[in-house]
C-alpha cells in the first residue's frame, strides 16, 4: 500500500468538534443488540469512555428516506450516487448534463461544510434523493441536506485509544434499504439507521492489533455486505467477507491467499502464504448479468519478491467472486511475485467494448504497474487477457505474453533483499487506488496518472512481529526519483484501440485523486498540490474551469441532482499517501512545499443563478 | 516461565489488570523472540545489544499488562557513563525503559540505530535519545518518549514508578 516516507507535516490540529455545538438536540444513540462481548471485541475492553457509541442527532432527522433496493442499485436514477462509483460497473460516470462544457465556467460553490478533522478525505459524497452521506477520517459519518448543506445527524464511531492508523481515511458508506454500512480502521463494521444515524448492529471483521483494518466502502449485492481487509504492510493474509445486511451475521469469508488444498496454494512456498498480504481495500465492481463481483487484490508481503518466492496468487490480481457464497470463479494476475508494492486493488471497470469489429464484455484496469489492461469476461467467471499497454514510463516489464498477458521482468529493476533497486513507476504506481473514470458518452477512460515518477528501495529480511509494520524495506532507502517536474498527468485513453487520445501534464505536482466524468462532456478531478479542483473538456483535455479549495483534494467527486438542479460535490482534505508523495518529492529535490494545509471541507457547486429579467 | 500464552498482543483483555499501565513493583517480560513471556533479568542484558520490547507483568495477579498497545515498553542497556543525570535517576545499572509507542502517530518505535545508539520509529522516522529522557532528535514526533523508571531488586528488574508522561500519539480527529 503506501510508502511510509518521512512526514514533515505540521502537527495535527486539536479536535475541533468537541467544541462545536449544533444548537440542536444532542442524543446519545443506544447501541442496539450490543453484548458485552461485542463491546470488549471492539474496544479490547479499553474503558467505559469508548464502550458506548454516539450519534449526534439534529432535531429534524430525516423524515422521508428512499429505501435502497437491488433494483435501484442496478439502475440508479440519474440524479443519485448510491454506489462507490455510482454504478456497479465502476464507471464513475454521471448521465447528468445540465453542467456542461459550454457553461461550466459559471460553476460556483453553493455551500460548504467543515468536517472538523484532518488527514485524507477520500470518500465520495453519497446521495440518495436529496440526502447526502459523507464519511471522513476518524470514523465519522455526516448526514446533510444535499441541497442546503444543513446537518441532519452526525455519527462518530469511537476508535480504540491504542490504535495506530497507517492510513487514517475512509472511503464512504454502503447503502441498503434503510441502513448505511461503515467499515472502520479498527476492524469494526457498523450498520446505521440512515434516518437517525443510530447504530443498528456492529461486528468485528478484523483484528487491528494484528494489522487488519478497514478503509473501503462496502459493496452490497442482494443484502450481502461485502468488505475486505487492509494490512499489506503488516503481513496479514487478505480476505473478503460478507455479512447479512439486516443482522450483521457473517455469511462467508474468502481468503485472497489460498491455504493448503486450495487452488493456487502451490504458488507459495513454505509458510509464506500465512503472511502473504493480498489485502483488499477498494470497493469491488459487480456484473448482475453473471452475478459476479470483481475485486482487486493488493501487494504481496513483505515487499521484496525473494522473501516470498512463487507467483503468489491472488496478490496483484483481479478475482471474480460469487457474492452468494464467496467462491472464487476466476482470476487474472497482472504481475506475478510482486516486489514493488503494486497493489492492483482498484477493481476493473466493466465495459461493453467494440474492438476490431467484435463486441464483448471487457474488464478495463489502468493498473498500479503502469499498464492499461483490457481483459475479457467469459461466462462462469473465467477471465481472458486481451491487451496491455503502458500508460506511464515502465522499465520493469521486458515483454508481455501475447496470449496470457504474463509479463517477463528486467531483473535489474526487481527489488531484492540487500540490494538498492530502482524501478519505474514507483511503489505508488502509474495510478494508485484513486479511480479512473469511463465516460459512457466519449467511450474513453480518464486516468489520474503519475508519469516518470520512479522510485527505489533496499530490501531487508526482518521477522514479522504481529501488529508492527513489516515492509521488508529499509525505510532510509525509500526514495522517489521524478524524471521531470511533470509528474501528474491526466490521460484520456481509448481502451478499444489501446491509444492515448489526449493528456494534460501538471507542472510541479503529483496527481492523486479519483476522477468523475459526466454526460455534460466533462471530467472533474482534484489531486494536485495547488489545492485546485478542475473541470476538463472530455473530448480535448482543455481546462475549462478551476477552483482553489481549502486543502488538497484526494477524494472522489460526484454529480447529483435535487429539484431539477445539478450539483458537483467533492471533499477537499489532504493527507495519507498524497502527503507522503509530497514529502518524498520535496526530499527528491522537486520544488514543492511539503506544507499542503490539512482539514476537511465538503464543497458543493452549481451553476451561478442568472440575474432575473426585469 | 511466566507471561504470555500466545505471541504478540492479546486478542482480548478480560482482566482489567492487563489494560492498566505499568505500575511500581511490576516485573518485566520479553515481548517476543526466543524468551517471549519470560521475566527479564539484568544479568541477561548487555551493553551494546540492540533495544527490544517488553511488557510489564503484574506479579500479584500473575498477568502481563498486554491488553493495550499503549503498554508496550522499549528497553536497552547503555553504558552508564553516557546517560544524562535526569535519565540516570530512572535507570537501573544502565538499563533504561520507555514507552514503545511513538508520540507522533502511535507506531511502535521498533528500530535501534546501531551507530548513534538511538531509537527510531519506522513509520515516520522520528529519532529519540535513550540517554536523555527520550528527547526527540529528529522527525515529526512532538514530544519525548515517556520514560519508565526502573530499579533492581535482588536479581530482578522492577518498575519503580509510572510513565513520566501520557503515553500515546497526538490526539486528533473527532473529539
Give residue-wise pLDDT tens across range A392-403.
999 999 999 999
* Residue A341 appears among annotated catalytic residues: yes
Give yes or no for residue A49 having a pLDDT over 70: no
- Write the residue in B14, B101, B124 that is nearest to A4 by C-beta: B124
Give yes or no for residue A57 having a pLDDT over 60: no
Using DSSP's 3-state secondary structure scheme, residue A461 falls into coil
Q: Which residues of A touch B17 (CB under 8 A)?
A: none
What is the predicted pLDDT for the residue at B116?
Answer: 95
Task: Say whether B101 and A162 touch across the interface (CB within 8 A).
Answer: yes
What whole-number percentage of chain A has pLDDT above 90?
A: 87
- Write the residue in A13, A140, A467 that is nearest to B9 by C-beta: A467
What is the predicted pLDDT for the residue at B13?
Answer: 53
What is the predicted pLDDT for the residue at A610?
Answer: 66
pLDDT band for position B14 (50/70/90)?
low
What is the b/e burial string over A4-38, where b = at least 16 CB atoms within 10 angstroms of the residue's CB?
A: bbbbbbeebeebbbeeeeeeeeebebebeebeeeb
Q: Which residues of A touch B168 (CB under 8 A)?
A: 161-162
Give yes or no for residue B6 having a pLDDT over 60: no
Task: Say whether A6 and B12 touch across the interface (CB within 8 A).
Answer: no
> In B, residues 106-165, which contact A (CB 8 Å cutoff)?
106-108, 110-111, 122-125, 139-140, 142
Give yes or no for residue A3 having a pLDDT over 60: no
Q: Which residues of A touch B170 (CB under 8 A)?
A: 11-12
CA A540 vs. chain centroid, Å, equals 27
Give yes or no for residue A163 having a pLDDT over 70: yes
pLDDT band for position A60 (50/70/90)?
low
Q: CB of A467 within 8 Å of any CB in chain B?
A: yes
Task: Say whether A162 and B69 touch across the interface (CB within 8 A).
Answer: yes
Give yes or no for residue A356 having a pLDDT over 90: yes
Q: Which residues of B touch A159 (CB under 8 A)?
A: 173
Measured between alpha carbons, how far is residue A396 from residues A298, A301, A362, A403, A452 in Å? 18, 19, 26, 19, 13
What is the predicted pLDDT for the residue at A338?
Answer: 98
**Parallel, antiparallel, or unpaired: how do β-strands A317-321 and A328-333 relate?**
antiparallel
Alpha-carbon span A571 to B158, nearest angstrom: 51
Q: In this complex, how many residue pairs, one in chain A and one in chain B, have their CB atoms less than 8 Å apart?
A: 124
Give yes or no for residue A387 having a pLDDT over 90: yes
Task: Say whether A469 and B107 touch across the interface (CB within 8 A).
Answer: yes
Question: How close is the nearest chain A Cα to the Cα of B72, in Å?
Answer: 10
What is the predicted pLDDT for the residue at A614?
Answer: 44
Nearest-by-CA chain B residue for A5: B124
Task: Say whether B9 and A210 touch across the interface (CB within 8 A).
Answer: yes
Alpha-carbon span A307 to A508, nearest angstrom: 36
The answer to whether A259 and A265 are in contact (CB under 8 A) is yes
What whole-number percentage of chain A has pLDDT above 70?
A: 89
Higher-pLDDT residue of B12 and B175 is B12
Using DSSP's 3-state secondary structure scheme, residue A408 falls into strand
Task: Say whether B170 and A11 touch across the interface (CB within 8 A).
Answer: yes
The answer to whether A431 and A367 are in contact (CB under 8 A) is yes
Give yes or no for residue B157 having a pLDDT over 50: yes
pLDDT band for position A47 (50/70/90)?
very low
Task: Say whether A47 and B19 touch across the interface (CB within 8 A).
Answer: yes
- Write the residue in B12, B106, B172 that is nearest to A162 by C-beta: B106
What is the predicted pLDDT for the residue at A195?
Answer: 97
pTM (two decimals): 0.89
Give yes or no for residue A37 having a pLDDT over 90: no
For residues A141-160, give the mean pLDDT: 97
What is the predicted pLDDT for the residue at A236?
Answer: 97
Q: CB of A599 within 8 Å of any CB in chain B?
A: no
What is the predicted pLDDT for the residue at B123?
Answer: 87
Looking at every residue in chain B, the average pLDDT score rounds to 90
Task: Say whether A139 and B68 touch across the interface (CB within 8 A).
Answer: no
Q: CB of A595 within 8 Å of any CB in chain B?
A: no
Give yes or no for residue A55 having a pLDDT over 60: no
Give yes or no for residue A611 having a pLDDT over 90: no
Using DSSP's 3-state secondary structure scheme, residue B70 falls into helix
- Write the residue in B11, B139, B170 that is nearest to A12 by C-beta: B170
What is the predicted pLDDT for the residue at B130?
Answer: 98
The answer to whether A213 and A187 are in contact (CB under 8 A) is yes
pLDDT band for position A21 (50/70/90)?
very low
What is the predicted pLDDT for the residue at B144?
Answer: 97
Please identify which of the residues A341, A343, A369, A577 carries the catalytic annotation: A341
The answer to whether A305 and A414 are in contact (CB under 8 A) is yes
Higher-pLDDT residue of A82 and A55 is A82
What is the predicted pLDDT for the residue at A401?
Answer: 98
> In B, residues 26-55, which contact A (CB 8 Å cutoff)?
31-32, 53
* Residue from B53, B167, B20 nearest B106 by CA: B167
- Render pLDDT for B19-74 as a digit per residue (tens, 0 to 9): 999 999 999 999 998 999 999 999 999 999 999 999 999 999 999 999 999 999 99
Using DSSP's 3-state secondary structure scheme, residue B8 falls into coil
pLDDT band for position A9 (50/70/90)?
very low
The answer to whether A15 and B174 are in contact (CB under 8 A) is yes
Question: How close is the nearest chain B Cα to the Cα of A331, in Å?
Answer: 33
Alpha-carbon span A560 to A130, nearest angstrom: 9
- Render pLDDT for A481-507 as a digit per residue (tens, 0 to 9): 999 989 999 999 999 999 999 999 999
Looking at every residue in chain A, the average pLDDT score rounds to 91
ipTM exceeds 0.95: no
- Write the residue in B19, B107, B174 that is nearest to A15 by C-beta: B174
- Render pLDDT for B76-129 as a digit per residue (tens, 0 to 9): 999 999 999 999 999 999 999 999 999 998 999 999 999 999 999 988 889 999
Amino acid at each position: 500500500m503506501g510508502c511510509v516516507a518521512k512526514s514533515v507535516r505540521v502537527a495535527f490540529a486539536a479536535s475541533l468538534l468537541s467544541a462545536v455545538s449544533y444548537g440542536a438536540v444532542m442524543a446519545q444513540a443506544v447501541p442496539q443488540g450490543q453484548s458485552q462481548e461485542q463491546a470488549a471485541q471492539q474496544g479490547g475492553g479499553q474503558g467505559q469512555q469508548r464502550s458506548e457509541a454516539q450519534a449526534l442527532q439534529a432535531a429534524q432527522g430525516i423524515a422521508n428516506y428512499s429505501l435502497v433496493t437491488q433494483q435501484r442499485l442496478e439502475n440508479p436514477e440519474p440524479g443519485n450516487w448510491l454506489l462507490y462509483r455510482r454504478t456497479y460497473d465502476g464507471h464513475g460516470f454521471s448521465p447528468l448534463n445540465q453542467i456542461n462544457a459550454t457553461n461550466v465556467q459559471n460553476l460556483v460553490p453553493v455551500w460548504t461544510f467543515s468536517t472538523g478533522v484532518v488527514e485524507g478525505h477520500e470518500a465520495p459524497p453519497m446521495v440518495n434523493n436529496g440526502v447526502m452521506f459523507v464519511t471522513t477520517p476518524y470514523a465519522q459519518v455526516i448526514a446533510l441536506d444535499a441541497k442546503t448543506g444543513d446537518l441532519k445527524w452526525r455519527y462518530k464511531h469511537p476508535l480504540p485509544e491504542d490504535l495506530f492508523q497507517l492510513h487514517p481515511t475512509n472511503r464512504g458508506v454502503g447503502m441498503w434499504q434503510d441502513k448505511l454500512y461503515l467499515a472502520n480502521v479498527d476492524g469494526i463494521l457498523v450498520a446505521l439507521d440512515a434516518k437517525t444515524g443510530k447504530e443498528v448492529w456492529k461486528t468485528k471483521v478484523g483484528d487491528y492489533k494484528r494489522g487488519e483494518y478497514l478503509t473501503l466502502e462496502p459493496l452490497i449485492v442482494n443484502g450481502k455486505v461485502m468488505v475486505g481487509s487492509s494490512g499489506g504492510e503488516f503481513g496479514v493474509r487478505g480476505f473478503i467477507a460478507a455479512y447479512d445486511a439486516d443482522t450483521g451475521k457473517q455469511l462467508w469469508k474468502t481468503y485472497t491467499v489460498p491455504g493448503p488444498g486450495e487452488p493456487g496454494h502451490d504458488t507459495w512456498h513454505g509458510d509464506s502464504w500465512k503472511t502473504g498480504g493480498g489485502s483488499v481495500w477498494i470497493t469491488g465492481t459487480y456484473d448482475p448479468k453473471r452475478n459476479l463481483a470483481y475485486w482487486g487484490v493488493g501487494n504481496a508481503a513483505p515487499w521484496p519478491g525473494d522473501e516470498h518466492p512463487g507467483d503468489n496468487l491472488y496478490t496483484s490480481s483481479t478475482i471474480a467472486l460469487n457474492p452468494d457464497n464467496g467462491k472464487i470463479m476466476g482470476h487474472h494476475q497482472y504481475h506475478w511475485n510482486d516486489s514493488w508494492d503494486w497493489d492492483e486493488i482498484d477493481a476493473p471497470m466493466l465495459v461493453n467494448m467494440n474492438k476490431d469489429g467484435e463486441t464483448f464484455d471487457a474488464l478495463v484496469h489502468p493498473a498500479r504497474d503502469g499498464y492499461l489492461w483490457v481483459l475479457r469476461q467469459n461466462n462462469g467467471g473465467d477471465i481472458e487477457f486481451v491487451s496491455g499497454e503502458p500508460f506511464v514510463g515502465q522499465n520493469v516489464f521486458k515483454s508481455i505474453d501475447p496470449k496470457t498477458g504474463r509479463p517477463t521482468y528486467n531483473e535489474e529493476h526487481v527489488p531484492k533483499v540487500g540490494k538498492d533497486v530502482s524501478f519505474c513507476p514507483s511503489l505508488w504506481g502509474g495510478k494508485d487506488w484513486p479511480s479512473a473514470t469511463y465516460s459512457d458518452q466519449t467511450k474513453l477512460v480518464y486516468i489520474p496518472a503519475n508519469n516518470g515518477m520512479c522510485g527505489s528501495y533496499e530490501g531487508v529480511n526482518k521477522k514479522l512481529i504481529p501488529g508492527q509494520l513489516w515492509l521488508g524495506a529499509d525505510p532510509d532507502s525509500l526514495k522517489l526519483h521524478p524524471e521531470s517536474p511533470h509528474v501528474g498527468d491526466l490521460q484520456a485513453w481509448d481502451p478499444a484501440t489501446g491509444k492515448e487520445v489526449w493528456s494534460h501534464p501538471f507542472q510541479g505536482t503529483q496527481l492523486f485523486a479519483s476522477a468523475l466524468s459526466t454526460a455534460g462532456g466533462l471530467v472533474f478531478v482534484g489531486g494536485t498540490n495547488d489545492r485546485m479542483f478542475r473541470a476538463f473538456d472530455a473530448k480535448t483535455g482543455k481546462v475549462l474551469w478551476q477552483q482553489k479549495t481549502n486543502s488538497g483534494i484526494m477524494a472522489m467527486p460526484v454529480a447529483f441532482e435535487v429539484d431539477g438542479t445539478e450539483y458537483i460535490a467533492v471533499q477537499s482534505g489532504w493527507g495519507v499517501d498524497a502527503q507522503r508523495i509530497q514529502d518524498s518529492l520535496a526530499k527528491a529535490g522537486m520544488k514543492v512545499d511539503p506544507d499542503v494545509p490539512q482539514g476537511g471541507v465538503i464543497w458543493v457547486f452549481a451553476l451561478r443563478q442568472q440575474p432575473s429579467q426585469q | 516461565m511466566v507471561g504470555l500464552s500466545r505471541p504478540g498482543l492479546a486478542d482480548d483483555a478480560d482482566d482489567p489488570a492487563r489494560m492498566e499501565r505499568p505500575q511500581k513493583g511490576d516485573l518485566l517480560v520479553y515481548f517476543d523472540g526466543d524468551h517471549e513471556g519470560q521475566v527479564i533479568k539484568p544479568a541477561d542484558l548487555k551493553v551494546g545489544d540492540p533495544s527490544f520490547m517488553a511488557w510489564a507483568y503484574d506479579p500479584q495477579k500473575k498477568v502481563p499488562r498486554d491488553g493495550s498497545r499503549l503498554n508496550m515498553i522499549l528497553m536497552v542497556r547503555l553504558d552508564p557513563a553516557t546517560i544524562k543525570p535526569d535519565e540516570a535517576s530512572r535507570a537501573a545499572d544502565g538499563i533504561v525503559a520507555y514507552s514503545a509507542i511513538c508520540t507522533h502517530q502511535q507506531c511502535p518505535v521498533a528500530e535501534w540505530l546501531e551507530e548513534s545508539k538511538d531509537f527510531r520509529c519506522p513509520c515516520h522516522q522520528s529519532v529519540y535519545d535513550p540517554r536523555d529522557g527520550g528527547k526527540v532528535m529528529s522527525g515529526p514526533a512532538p514530544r519525548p518518549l515517556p520514560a519508565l523508571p526502573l530499579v533492581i531488586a535482588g536479581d530482578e528488574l522492577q518498575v519503580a514508578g509510572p510513565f513520566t508522561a501520557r503515553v500515546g500519539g497526538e490526539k486528533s480527529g473527532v473529539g
